[in-house]
Amino acid sequence: MPLALVSTYQTFQLMSFKQIAVIGAGTMGNGIAHVFAQSGFTVKLIDVNGAQLEKALQTIGKNLDRQVSKGALSEGQKSIALANITTHTDLAVGVQNADLVVEAATENTDLKLKIFRSLDEAAPANTILATNTSSISITKIAAATKRPNKVIGMHFMNPVPVMKLVEIINGYATDKAVTDAIVAMSTQLGKVPCVVNDYPGFIANRILMPMINEAIYSLYEGVAGVEAIDTVMKLGMAHPMGPLQLADFIGLDVCLSILNVLHDGFGNPKYAPCPLLVNMVTAGYLGVKSGEGFYQHTAGSKDLVVSERFR
């Protein structure tokens, strides 16, 4: 086949996504599975932990119910979305017919490299391998495979069914046809794709995390209290959550780890994490997931109660 035709044929092949595999059934993984299934794709949700898969299906069911109760989805559409998802504990079985794999495992470089090595062996040669990493280098993850041109970042925001953005990150070797296919696919999901290049923090976290860090520094230096800092940003800048509430929502450990990536990656002291953030993470005060951060988080309650430590 002439070279131009081979390339067109490959682009066409890349465009015809039907089966999606999602690796990791945590908060991001279940949200990603939810939006693909709702958009009519067949989804294989894969996690080594069977109990986590059960929990993820329950969460997806609850979030679909929420959409039904708001009139955004019919009962029939909810049933179809749920029927589109099957769960697997065996990665090799789950990805064997996948057109696209979206990895959303824990944010740990060694783990992601290991997963991508396995994906490269188990998934068909044409399968695009995407990662939902919030800060690990796409180029580094891609280099663990023999298909770095088919590896790309697909960074969804939490809560995935609600947030419109997908930050699409080109690794150094990502093919343009792959980027184009992922842009088109993200639009099919009802999302708004933004393409960026692979440098520390990409765009979302390069801008978000210094803002969160500055809010924590303002608290640490006694410029203002938790409520005042968050209210200024909520009412003054129309942010849906103040930066300290958002840090609790994202997880203080995740914020710290992303700031460390920025600090190490750029070698610029402006990214140095605030010592208060470091202390809170060391002590296990991680925000919503641990029950306390800048706020107290009681299960089932939406009330914002500032942590006693900051009153």
- Smallest separation, CB 298 to ligand CAA (Å): 16
In the block, which residue shows the tokens 């794999």? 101
Please pick, from the candidates 83, 93, 162, 192, the single residue that binds ligand CAA as defined by CB under 6 A.
162
Binding segment for ligand CAA among 110-118, 154-162, 219-227, 229-237 (CB under 6 A)?
Answer: 154-162
Q: 33 Cβ partners below 8 Å, 6+ apart?
A: 22, 25, 43, 45, 56, 60, 85
Q: Is 214 part of the annotated catalytic residue set?
A: no
Residue 249 DSSP class? H
Instruction: Build a one-symbol-per-residue string for 66-105: x at contacts with ligand CAA by CB under 6 A, - elsewhere.
Output: xx--x-----------------------------------
Binding segment for ligand CAA among 94-102, 118-126, 155-163, 287-295 (CB under 6 A)?
Answer: 155-163
Residue 158 as a binder of ligand CAA (CB under 6 A): the answer is yes
Q: Is 135 part of the annotated catalytic residue set?
A: no
Nearer to ligand CAA, 67 or 307 (CB): 67
Nearer to ligand CAA, 66 or 146 (CB): 66
How crowded is residue 216: how many other Cβ atoms within 10 Å of its Cβ? 26
Q: Which two tokens stand for residue 228?
A: 């005042």
Binding segment for ligand CAA among 39-47, 142-150, 160-168, 183-191 (CB under 6 A)?
Answer: 160-168
| Residue from 124, 125, 31 nearest 85 by CA | 31
Residue 134 as a binder of ligand CAA (CB under 6 A): the answer is yes
Residue 111 as a binder of ligand CAA (CB under 6 A): the answer is no
- Smallest separation, CB 249 to ligand CAA (Å): 7
Distances (CA, A) of 83 to 50, 75, 171, 188: 18, 12, 34, 19
Please pick, from the candidates 250, 256, 280, 281, the single residue that binds ligand CAA as defined by CB under 6 A.
250
CA atoms within 13 A on the CB side of 244: 30
- Smallest separation, CB 64 to ligand CAA (Å): 8
* Count of residues in contact with ligand CAA, rule CB under 6 A: 18
CA distance 202 to 197: 7
Please pick, from the candidates 163, 224, 272, 276, the single residue that binds ligand CAA as defined by CB under 6 A.
163
Q: Is 34 part of the annotated catalytic residue set?
A: no
Nearer to ligand CAA, 94 or 273 (CB): 273
C-beta pairs of 178-187 under 8 Å, 24+ apart in sequence = 178/14, 178/128, 178/149, 178/150, 178/152, 179/152, 180/11, 181/11, 181/14, 181/15, 181/17, 181/128, 182/100, 182/128, 182/130, 182/152, 182/154, 184/15, 185/17, 185/100, 186/154
Q: Is 155 part of the annotated catalytic residue set?
A: yes
Q: Which of 30, 63, 107, 155 is catalytic?
A: 155
Find the distance separating the first CA and the last CA of the chain, reported in whole Å. 71
Please pick, from the candidates 205, 213, 257, 307, the single residue that binds ligand CAA as defined by CB under 6 A.
205
- The amino acid that residue 263 corresponds to is H
| 71 conformational bin, left if phi > 0, alpha if psi -120 to 50, beta if neither | left
Binding segment for ligand CAA among 75-83, 96-104, 223-231, 238-246 (CB under 6 A)?
Answer: 238-246
CA distance 197 to 139: 10
Return the active site residues. Answer: 134, 155, 167, 205
Binding site for ligand CAA (CB under 6 A): 63, 66-67, 70, 134, 157-159, 161-163, 204-205, 240-241, 246, 250, 254
